[in-house]
Amino acid sequence: MSKHAKQNEPLVTHLYTADPSAHVFEDKIYIYPSHDLEHDGVSDDEGTQYTMEDYHVFSMDDIDAPVVDHGQVLHMKDVPWVSQQMWAPDAAFKNDTYYFYFPAKDKEGIFRIGVATSDNPAGPFKPEPNYIPGSYSIDPAVFIDDDGKAYMYAGGLWGGQLEKWQTGKFDPDAGEQNPDEIALGPWVAPMSDDMLTFAEPPVEFKILDENGKPLLAGDEDRRFFEAPWVHKYNGTYYLSYSTGSSHYIVYATSDNPMGPFTYRGRILEPVVGWTTHQSIVEFKGKWYLFYHDASLSGGIDHRRSIKFTEIKYNEDGTIQTIHPYK
Ligand code: FUB
């Protein structure tokens, strides 16, 4: 089943899809989203409503071409360490291999990040038997720099459990930060050459304000919540992310892929639904934001649809804010 891709319209209508990570592989756009299941179960701050179990991969030969569903590429039952909730994934290409990264809860109910491989960007993907040692929380995004070095970024508050790792160990009782504490940032880890493990343990990095001071936890319009994504434009590293409770996609920049990053502004105003999650990719000389909203399901937050729109940079490198329904 496929329809022609159109900006700001659902790219997929026969399934609910979210958290699109878009990449250009083999001259096409490949999209690696989550797959929202239709259910009427519990909805809470832990994200229990996101009971996803598998992944599909989609591709577009061009920006207005039909969207092709390559079918189920990985299912929970094929991953020995996973107990539930296969959330926002990403993919990368190196060593003539396609790597698919996905977060899920392990048998202890702790979010970890797994990896699966294929020789085809459309999968299917064969999972490694265990999660990546040292990985935790959700929303992995892998960025490969011009020198070939790869970095994984990840993290997400609340249901994503990031605040439970503040001591370096998982504390199931750890609660939210106080508003005047320095906000928790995402973590970054350089990947080993085999792309299956970390070359160095994950380190948290901060997002700074215009005066070089770390953003505070109470700064909900700007502080990191989830969905980190890094792209490079004119030699600068751009970290985009969701602010969660205030529902913005914002960005921060750095001259170092390991951070820290400085907050720069808003990319996407709130969409229909609680969550917002993005990726940014260059294709044929233009830049695109892939995102999701819940308009296809009439606003049911765990039945989302992936979309895309073009983004524009100003001369100074800032990104123009997108109003998704204007
Ligand atoms: O799709 C499940 C979770 O919702 C993702 O991991 C978050 O980024 C949010 O979109």
In a domain, 321, yes or no: no
**Statement: residue 49 has pLDDT above 90:** no
Q: Is 94 exposed, middle or buried (0-12, 13-18, 19+ CB in 10 A)?
A: middle
Write the residue with the smallest CA distance to atom 4 of ligand 1: 275
Spatial distance between the Cα atoms of 18 and 293, rounded to a whole number of angstroms? 8
- For residue range 241-271, list pLDDT tens digits in order: 999 999 999 999 999 999 999 999 999 999 9
Determine how many CB atoms are found less than 10 A away from the CB of residue 63: 15
Grade residue 282 by pLDDT with cuts at 50, 70 and 90. very high
In a domain, 322, yes or no: no
- For residue range 51-85, list pLDDT tens digits in order: 899 999 999 999 999 999 999 999 999 999 999 99
Write the residue with the smallest CA distance to atom 3 of ligand 1: 87
Grade residue 164 by pLDDT with cuts at 50, 70 and 90. very high
In a domain, 132, yes or no: yes
Query: Can you tell me which atom of ligand 1 is nearest the CA of 19?
Result: 10
Task: Give ligand 1 pocket residues (Cβ under 6 A).
Answer: 18-19, 34, 50, 87-88, 138-139, 156, 226-227, 275, 277
Nearest to 176 by CA among 220, 222, 110: 220
> Cα of 275 to ligand 1 centre, how many Å?
7
Mutational test site, ligand 1, from 138, 225, 240, max ligand atoms within 8 Å of CB = 138
Can you give the pLDDT at residue 22? Answer: 99
Write the residue with the smallest CA distance to atom 5 of ligand 1: 88
HSE-up of 275 (CA within 13 Å, CB side)?
35
Residue 127 pairs in a beta bridge with 116
Q: How many domains does the chain have?
A: 1
What is the chain's mean pLDDT, rounded? 97
In a domain, 60, yes or no: yes
Q: Is the dihedral of CA 136, 223, 232, 166 positive or negative?
A: negative
Grade residue 2 by pLDDT with cuts at 50, 70 and 90. low
In a domain, 269, yes or no: yes
**Statement: residue 1 has pLDDT above 80:** no
Average pLDDT score over residue span 218-228: 98
Grade residue 45 by pLDDT with cuts at 50, 70 and 90. confident
According to DSSP, the β-strands at 236-242 and 226-233 are antiparallel
Q: Catalytic residue positions? A: 19, 226
Measured torsion, CA atoms of residues 77, 132, 103, 156, in degrees rounded to the nearest 10: 160
239: its two tokens: 């970290």
Grade residue 185 by pLDDT with cuts at 50, 70 and 90. very high
**Statement: residue 323 has pLDDT above 70:** yes
Nearest to 143 by CA among 203, 199, 198, 92: 92
> In sequence order, what are the residues at sequence separation of 6 or more whose Cβ sits closer than 8 angstroms to the Cβ of residue 112?
81, 103, 104, 105, 106, 131, 132, 135, 136
Mutational test site, ligand 1, from 49, 50, 112, 300, max ligand atoms within 8 Å of CB = 50
> Cα of 159 to ligand 1 centre, how many Å?
9
Boundaries of domain holding 77? 16-311
Query: Can you tell me which atom of ligand 1 is nearest the CA of 242?
Result: 8
In a domain, 202, yes or no: yes
- For residue range 129-162, list pLDDT tens digits in order: 999 999 999 999 999 999 999 999 999 999 999 9
Mutational test site, ligand 1, from 87, 242, 249, 276, max ligand atoms within 8 Å of CB = 87
In a domain, 113, yes or no: yes
In a domain, 70, yes or no: yes
Average pLDDT score over residue span 101-117: 98
Classified as helix, coil or strand, 165 is: helix
Write the residue with the smallest CA distance to atom 8 of ligand 1: 227
Instruction: Tell me, rounded to whole angstroms, the distance of Cα 299 from its chain centroid.
Output: 21
Determine how many CB atoms are found less than 10 A away from the CB of residue 308: 26
Q: Is the pTM of this model over 0.95?
A: yes
Report DSSP state, residue 191: B
Write the residue with the smallest CA distance to atom 1 of ligand 1: 87
- For residue range 112-125, list pLDDT tens digits in order: 999 999 999 999 99
Query: Can you tell me which atom of ligand 1 is nearest the CA of 302?
Result: 1
Query: Can you tell me which atom of ligand 1 is nearest the CA of 85?
Result: 2
Nearest to 152 by CA among 188, 201, 195, 205: 188
Question: CATH number of the domain that 169 lies in?
Answer: 2.115.10.20
Nearest to 306 by CA among 277, 265, 266: 277
